Amino acid sequence: MSQITQRLTQHLQQASSQKIIKDESQGRWFNGTELAGDVAQLVDLFRQQTIGHGDVVFVCLPNSAVYPVLTQAIWEVGAVMHPVAATTPAGELQAALNEQTYAATIVSDHLLPAAQAGRPTRLVELLLNTVDHLAVVRNQAVTGHPVAAPGEDDLGLILNTSGTTGKPKRVGLTHRLLWNGAQHDIASHRLTAADTTLITMPMFHINAQVVSVLSTRLSGGKLVITPKFSAHNFWPQVQANGVTWASVVPTIINILLINPAARASYTGQQPLRFVRCSSFSLPRQKLTQFEHDYQTRVLEGYGMTETASQCTLNPFDAPKIGSAGRPVGTEMAVLRNGHFEKAANQIGEIAVKGDHVITRYLDPHPDAFQDGWFLTGDLGYFDADGYLFITGRKKDIISVGGEKVAPVHVENVLSQLAFVKEVTVIGTPDDLYGERVTAVIIGRPGDQERQRQAIFTQAQQQLATYEQPKQVLFVRDYPRNATGKVLRPQLRRQLVAELGAGA
């Protein structure tokens, strides 16, 4: 049996009478005995339905207390969990089920017809402590395997990358990779049994799966699970449940800063010792304002699905604002002119390897690996102190008359303006220079022409001439993937079509 399954079982046994997982939508805590009972029921069901070692279970459910229970039960029988966004539409669900072989599918009730269509199935329903109704669709066209304890090199999770271009890649994470990633998270975040985390991120994603849920459970802490992030509920949830930390993205930080209901609900009595923030770097002004206004600290980090969570984190005792921190359990370099370099201030493609990093995808993508390194597709550099600075995505680089512009750098400069909620910088066609830098803004209410001029002025003061936006557009929102990441290629196509039509 793998270390993870052993430890998760022990956690429930040791906390038999302790409240360790709360479902905010139900307003209810569950103790170890109740959670273990649900795991046992699910294990029995999988055994009866011949779902066992190596079989893949497709899961499409919203955040709830049943999620960690279901994950544990799937692992205990040696099966593999493949979770996807709860908002997946029926057509996309059917396409996914037709593309790969799944022994069972577990979805919300409204998706049951789609999960059963076009294949011989058996529907099994359960009443659990953590959920009133759970429907398991057994695919009878798949033979299945006997229950068997998983080994360290058996797959535990299959996750789709949340990449911004092309078809998502399937990442297979073994029990060993998940264990190692979680252990690095526990050490770097200084997690103990005294910690309680608030889950606001979607639980099908690596951030919630490993950084929040798995790391907290393995360190003996408590979970408070919300259906989704709510600005006006965030601080009351923190205070009412004794939350000590939360993992978020910069968008959530921005919302908590500008949302009147969020600010009004903060009483200054919350015991939040830190907020972990990842995805892209926060502007200095917003990070320091958040820390000042909410009396906590922000720890920025960098990670991805392929690394079973994080690669870097700003250390508690020596954070460096604007950076993604220092490597945590990870060997890192930049690929520059065909060579892997570790010298300071050399910009190149970030490459990683370590005991929590995949060495291949489940489908062939050999160009993502070189000489034992995983090539992230992100551009960045390390300073003289070993802190990582992200400059952008390799595929997002804008070429202006031969000059290369990193969108993230321009976005960080424009984000300093108070009226800017979010900014995405893309390249749009230009007959003379090939591409022009275009800033796409989600702003606060106000005179957009004045805001546009303020953006031009800010850019002229802080950016090189070729980096300055030549065009500023205002939108209500961007096209996004299931985790909220902006789909830059789709945004670019939309704007090119609109501008071409005279919009």
Mean pLDDT of 318-331: 94
Q: Tell me, rounded to whole angstroms, the distance of Cα 338 from its chain centroid.
A: 30
* pLDDT, tens digit, 9 for 90 and up, residues 87-137: 888 988 998 999 999 999 999 999 999 999 999 999 999 999 999 999 999
Closest by CA to 279, choosing from 490, 480, 475, 65, is: 480
CATH of residue 412's domain is 3.30.300.30
Could you tell me if 388 and 423 lie in one domain? no
**In this structure, are 372 and 417 located in the same domain?**
no
Q: Is residue 204 part of a domain?
A: no
In a domain, 181, yes or no: no
Q: What are the helix (H) ranges across 363-446?
A: 407-414
Residues 372 and 458 in one domain: no
Q: In sequence order, what are the beta bridge partners of 310?
A: 303
Same domain membership, residue 411 and residue 380: no
443 vs 50: CA distance, rounded Å: 53
Contact 433, 467 (CB under 8 A): no
Residue that terminates a domain, selected from 352, 374, 393: 393
Summarize the confidence of residues 452-480 as an average pLDDT. Answer: 92
For the CA atoms of 355, 356, 357, 363, what is the dihedral angle to 10 degrees?
120
Looking at the domain assignment, is residue 201 inside a domain? no
Contact by Cβ (8 Å): 168, 161: yes
Residue 213 lies in a domain: no
Query: Could you tell me the pTM of the whole model?
Result: 0.84
Please name which of 27, 170, 172, 162 lies closest in space to residue 483, comparing C-alpha atoms: 162
Q: Which of the four pLDDT bands, split at 50, 70 and 90, describes residue 496?
A: confident
Residues 380-429: tens digit of each pLDDT: 999 999 999 988 777 787 878 767 787 888 998 899 999 999 999 999 98
The whole-number average pLDDT for the span 36-59 is: 98
β-pairing, 373-382 with 19-23? unpaired
Check pLDDT > 50 for residue 165: no
Beta strand segments in 127-273, E: 134-139, 155-160, 170-174, 196-199, 222-225, 245-248
Shared-domain flag, residues 27 and 170: yes
Cα dihedral 420, 423, 427, 428 sign: negative
Task: Indicate whether 248 and 388 sit together in one domain.
Answer: yes
Distance CA 122, CA 104 (A): 9
- The mean pLDDT value for 148-170 works out to 83
Look up residue 120 and give its two tokens.
């011989």
**Confidence category of residue 322, pLDDT binned at 50, 70, 90:** confident
Q: Is residue 190 part of a domain?
A: no
According to the model, what pLDDT value does residue 502 have?
44
> For all residues of the chain together, what is the average pLDDT?
92
Question: Looking at the structure, do residues 381 and 409 belong to the same domain, yes or no?
Answer: no
Query: What domain count does the chain have?
Result: 3
User: Could you tell me if 113 and 24 lie in one domain?
Assistant: yes
Tell me, yes or no, whether 367 and 436 share the same domain: no
Q: Which amino acid is at 156?
A: G
| The pLDDT of residue 503 is above 50 | no
Instruction: Identify whether residues 374 and 445 lie together within a single domain.
Output: no
Please count the CA atoms within 13 angstroms of the CA of 110 that sit on its side-chain side.
8
C-beta pairs of 424-427 under 8 Å, 24+ apart in sequence: 424/478, 424/486, 424/488, 424/491, 425/398, 425/469, 426/396, 426/398, 426/488, 426/491, 426/492, 426/495, 427/398, 427/399, 427/400, 427/492
* DSSP strand pairing (222-225 vs 196-199): parallel
Report the CATH number that the domain containing residue 116 is assigned in CATH.
Answer: 3.40.50.980
The verdict on 57 and 73 lying in the same domain is: yes
CATH number, position 377? 3.40.50.12780
Residue 424 CB partners (closer than 8 Å, separation 6+): 407, 411, 439, 440, 478, 486, 488, 491
Domain end point (choices 340, 372, 393)? 393
Which DSSP helix (H) or strand (E) runs through 217?
helix 215-218
Integer Rg of the chain from CA = 23
Distance (Å, whole) CA 46 – CA 341 = 49
Half-sphere exposure of 263 (CA within 13 A, CB side): 10
More confident residue, 481 or 112: 112
Query: Is residue 163 predicted with pLDDT exceeding 60?
Result: no
What are 213-242's pLDDT values in tens digits? 999 999 999 999 999 999 999 999 999 999
Residue 183 lies in a domain: no
Percent residues over pLDDT 70 in the chain: 97
The range of the structural domain enclosing residue 152 comes to 3-174
Confidence of residue 169 (pLDDT cuts 50, 70, 90): confident
pLDDT at 280: 60
Lowest mean pLDDT among 181-185, 215-219, 475-479, 481-485: 481-485
Could you read off the pLDDT of 351-387 as tens digits, one per residue?
Answer: 999 999 999 999 998 899 999 999 998 889 999 999 9
The answer to whether residues 241 and 143 belong to one domain is: no
Q: Could you tell me which residues are beta bridge partners of residue 404?
A: 399
Q: With 90 as the cut, is the pLDDT of residue 252 above it?
A: no
Q: Which of 129, 152, 174 is the last residue of a domain?
A: 174
